[in-house]
A and B are shown apart, each in its own frame.
Chain A
Amino acid sequence: GQQLNQSPQSMFIQEGEDVSMNCTSSSIFNTWLWYKQDPGEGPVLLIALYKAGELTSNGRLTAQFGITRKDSFLNISASIPSDVGIYFCAGPFNAGGTSYGKLTFGQGTILTVHP
């Protein structure tokens, strides 16, 4: 099945630093989604990307859809303590040309921000 490889697995940074994490796949995705999960909570959608090469921002977050459609990165600028959590990339797998298929998730990047 499709797999998403996410790196790094974890990051420990100081408040105010910028963060970058990425996600790669052996398969082409038509959509990339980035989610954040706080402990004991459900994933919250941060950014959705739909076009190869697309660069999208949401406040201090910026994400890009790779030109090959097999990778994406997420940047967080000027990190703050509430950025702590697990960040997941995800892509829909549309089997047999069906729309709105299941999401395949990466393993997640655990972000710790020291004040």
Chain B
Amino acid sequence: EPEVTQTPSHQVTQMGQEVILRCVPISNHLYFYWYRQILGQKVEFLVSFYNNEISEKSEIFDDQFSVERPDGSNFTLKIRSTKLEDSAMYFCATLAGVTDEQFFGPGTRLTVL
């Protein structure tokens, strides 16, 4: 069964460093999302992406964040200058565009020291 994959599974970085989180969506899916989950909390929406542009972004998704789909397969989330409070699980989700069912990847655990 097709699935969303994410790399790396765990990223440790120093405060102020840039990180890029990668996602490979399910191949025929058209809508892409990033969510984050701080330890012990609920899943929170960051950004949605469709037709090579951002559809919607949350208050969390400030100027330090960016997304792109550089090569038609990978979908990336970049954090330019990480802060301690960016430590969380980051999930990519994709949707085919037929129903509202979003399928999530296994996540990247980001730890900012």
Residues of A within 8 A of B (CB): 30-31, 33, 35, 40-45, 48, 50, 88, 90, 92, 95, 98-108
Q: How far is the CA of A106 from the CA of B43 in the complex (A)?
A: 8
Q: How far is the CA of A105 from the CA of B36 in the complex (A)?
A: 11
Given the known interface contacts A103-B45, A104-B45, A108-B42, the answer about A42 and B101 at a Cβ–Cβ threshold of 8 Å is no
Q: Are A92 and B107 in contact (CB under 8 A)?
A: no
Q: Does B75 count as interface, using CB distance less than 8 angstroms?
A: no
Q: How many residues of B contact A (CB 8 A)?
A: 29
Q: How far is the CA of A100 from the CA of B95 in the complex (A)?
A: 8
Residues of chain A within 8 A (CB-CB) of B35 are 103
Q: Are B48 and A101 in contact (CB under 8 A)?
A: yes
Q: How far is the CA of A45 from the CA of B26 in the complex (A)?
A: 15
Q: Are A106 and B48 in contact (CB under 8 A)?
A: no
Nearest chain B CB to A62 CB, angstrom units: 18
Nearest chain A CB to B24 CB, angstrom units: 13
Q: How far is the CA of A104 from the CA of B100 in the complex (A)?
A: 12
Least CB separation from B107: chain A residue: A42
Q: Are B42 and A106 in contact (CB under 8 A)?
A: yes
Q: How far is the CA of A108 from the CA of B40 in the complex (A)?
A: 10
Q: Does B18 count as interface, using CB distance less than 8 angstroms?
A: no
CB-CB contacts below 8 Å: B27-46 with A: 31, 33, 35, 42-45
